[in-house]
Amino acid sequence: MDKIRIVGGNTLNGVIPISGAKNAALPLIIASLLTDETLTLENVPRLRDVAMLTRILSNHGVDYSLNGKRPGEDHLTGQTIHLTAREIVDTRAPYEMVSQMRASFWVIGPLLARAHQARVSLPGGCAIGTRPVDLFISGLEALGAQIEIEAGYVVTRAPGGLVGARYRFPKVSVGATHTLMMAATLARGETVLEGAAREPEVVDLAKCLVAMGAKIEGAGTSTIRIQGVDRLSGTTHRVLPDRIETGTYAMAVAMTGGDVTLTHTSADLLRSALEVLAATGTEITETSDGIRVRRGPGPILPVDVTTEPFPAFPTDLQAQFMALMTRASGTSSITETIFENRFMHVAELARLGARIAIDGRTARVEGVERLAGAPVMATDLRASVSLVIAGLVAEGETMVSRVYHLDRGFERLEEKLSRCGAIIERISGEGMR
């Protein structure tokens, strides 16, 4: 099993290209089930989750191909994927597939909309919380689906097709918003989703669906209106930049000091997080193609944050910000309101010398003058990169194990950081024997 070795102490200087957003690419790939024509997605990140999802969709009859490298591209440039579901050959999503990737449960919406039936395994537990599927089930029932739970599977049918309806989410759910929006595109009549997620990834999916012939209004607000159509066509769509990757590298620069320009991204995707980062004493400047992040020799200022749905501070940057606050000149508090069990990285940060106390959903972080390198273990995707950020300033060597979590969401992280002066390398499992 691979590990990442980091020797802390170097500032970061240079340019980091931001990849396409994983959280946008996954629902866009699933949207290929809605049409018998080819959906072409550009700027798709090269990630474990993307590769796994395309293999999962092939079980349903989706053919896919990848473009080869083009002139002027390097291995940090996003890939182009062509997906064609001419016929849905299997409406089952078995446990062995869904258990590998929770987002694959979202196929239930497109399968039901196009094939009028689906048998999808319940996803099971999750390291950062239960994330139940009750919102998916109640939303699809509102659209006329008949749903039963049988032996760990959600079995759903809509013999005459789905029918538009008004549905209010009892709480904000990005995954359920993706799923119901896709399902409603082929439902008869109008669907109104109230209390919908407002994330940029929801807007990106809506833009792609509209290009495919869907009629959608209000994406990016809490009320989305979808007028169902008989069929959708193929299209070409470019995946938006990854705001979580953008925020992660911005926090790495704030942690280490230095001057890095993040390209192929936009400050509009994470205004709240950048405002919080600026309050720590980090200089943020918008450029024509991204963001310039600078921090001089001054102290990192402590800032209190609370995670909330977009446009507020994102839960997917909570662990990274906690790593930053371990070196702040004072005490900060971080309150997690989205997921339970999302403080599992605290114990690993403590191994590096961090002082963090947990009280329910709030972590109080007392900044320290130094961190010391140590062996640490990644517990989930975002937690794993927080350990990398801490390792960049820890004295001596930090060895991060279970980095397959990183490969799920960060494209060639060690290469991007090493280009800017970090001492970081991947050690293959074979090399450790």
Query: Was 375 annotated as part of a binding site?
Result: no
The backbone torsions φ and ψ at residue 301, rounded to the nearest 5 degrees and listed phi first, read: -85, 140
Residue 58 is labelled as binding a ligand: no
| Residue 358 φ/ψ, nearest 5 degrees | -105, 130
Specify the pLDDT at position 404.
86
Please tell me whether residue 68 adopts helix, strand or coil conformation. coil
Spatial separation of the C-alpha atoms in residues 176 and 82, rounded to whole Å: 25
134 is in an annotated binding site: yes
Q: What is the pLDDT of residue 75?
A: 62
Catalytic residue among 15, 52, 126, 312: 126
Instruction: Give the type of residue at 249.
Output: Y
Domains in the chain, start-ordered, CATH in brackets? 26-238 (3.65.10.10), 241-402 (3.65.10.10)
Known binding residue 433? Answer is no
Per-residue pLDDT reduced to its tens digit, 36-62: 999 999 999 999 899 999 999 999 999
Give the torsion sign (CA, 189, 193, 197, 198).
positive
Where do the DSSP E strands lie in 304-411?
A: 305-306, 331-335, 355-359, 362-366, 375-377, 397-401
Residue 200 counted as an annotated binding residue = no
Q: Is 329 annotated as a binding residue?
A: no
pTM of the complete model? 0.94
d(CA 392, CA 256): 7
208 has catalytic annotation: no
């310039």: which residue's tokens? 292
CA distance 206 to 214: 8
Cα distance between residue 180 and residue 172, in whole Å:
13
Measured in degrees and rounded to the nearest 5, phi and psi for residue 324 equal -60, -45
Residue 239 near residue 28 (C-beta atoms within 8 A): yes
Can you list the residues of the chain whose pLDDT is less than 70? 68-77, 124-131, 430-433
How many alpha carbons lie under 13 Å from residue 303 in its C-beta half-sphere?
23
Task: Output the pLDDT for position 412.
Answer: 93
